[in-house]
Chains A and B, each alone.
Chain A
Amino acid sequence: SQQGEEDPQALSIQEGENATMNCSYKTSINNLQWYRQNSGRGLVHLILIRSNEREKHSGRLRVTLDTSKKSSSLLITASRAADTASYFCATVSGSARQLTFGSGTQLTVLP
């Protein structure tokens, strides 16, 4: 079952702009991860944030986590056309050892 909802479902921006995607989840988590999927391809792990962390950076990516609101955001700064893809958040909860994925955001970066 899907744990999270993401918004927006689709986002279209110009190259150079920042893109922000949000993820909300329902149960308490151990960690939350963000993945990227190019059309028709597998998933690539972007970043993991643990439940006791509030913010994490990796290159042009910035992830925040608010466990009180059960939400996370992914910010991609200075976007590039190559960032065009679907982005999914995924959570790991309790003793579960599998990922539960959100609904995804389709990002289009226009050159």
Chain B
Amino acid sequence: GAVVSQHPSWVICKSGTSVKIECRSLDFQATTMFWYRQFPKQSLMLMATSNEGSKATYEQGVEKDKFLINHASLTLSTLTVTSAHPEDSSFYICSARDRGWPGELFFGEGSRLTVL
């Protein structure tokens, strides 16, 4: 199947710093990418839908100024956690859909963020 790569796979940062997580589709073009957040032993909660060349659509309760999403190309979307705080510590997972609907959804391996 297609491959979605996330980087970094884990990051530890100090409170107040910003962290950028990249999500790349390696062998296909993704017009739409999704960002999820997962707390330990819980399900995935959709944060936002990222469409190439346009603004992301955020789910209710997700602060767009806190979680900046940029989908600048058909193979790359980035999530920046700005001024991170300990409560932002979580597992962030991206997924990407191949061109067209309903293309199969492929998931990255996730990025574990720990804010000290």
Contacts and interface: CB of A to CB of B under 8 A. Distances in A.
Given A2-B43, A98-B34, A106-B41, A42 B110 contact: yes
Contacts of B46: 98-100
A97 B32 CA distance: 9
Nearest to A89: B43
Contacts of B59: 1
A34 interface: no
A30 B102 CA distance: 10
B109 A99 contact: no
Contacts of A42: 4, 6, 93, 107-110
A1 B36 CA distance: 11
Interface string A96-111: 0111111110100000
Interface in B1-58: 1, 4, 6, 32, 34, 36, 41-46, 49
B10 to A, nearest CB: 9
B111 to A, nearest CB: 10
B68 to A, nearest CB: 19
Q: Chain B binding site: helix, strand, loop or mixed by DSSP?
A: strand
Contacts, number: 56
Given A40-B110, A41-B110, A42-B110, A101 B105 contact: no
A92 B102 contact: yes
Contacts of B97: 97
A40 B91 contact: yes
A44 interface: yes
Contacts of A92: 102
Contacts of A100: 46
**Residue picked from A98, A100, A104, most chain B C-beta under 10 Å:** A98
Q: Which of B1, B4, B109 is packed against the most chain A CB atoms within 10 Å?
A: B109
Given A42-B107, A45-B106, 9 more contacts: A40-B91, A41-B109, A41-B110, A42-B4, A42-B110, A45-B104, A97-B97, A97-B102, A101-B44
Interface of B: 1, 4, 6, 32, 34, 36, 41-46, 49, 59-60, 91, 93, 95, 97, 101-102, 104-110, 112
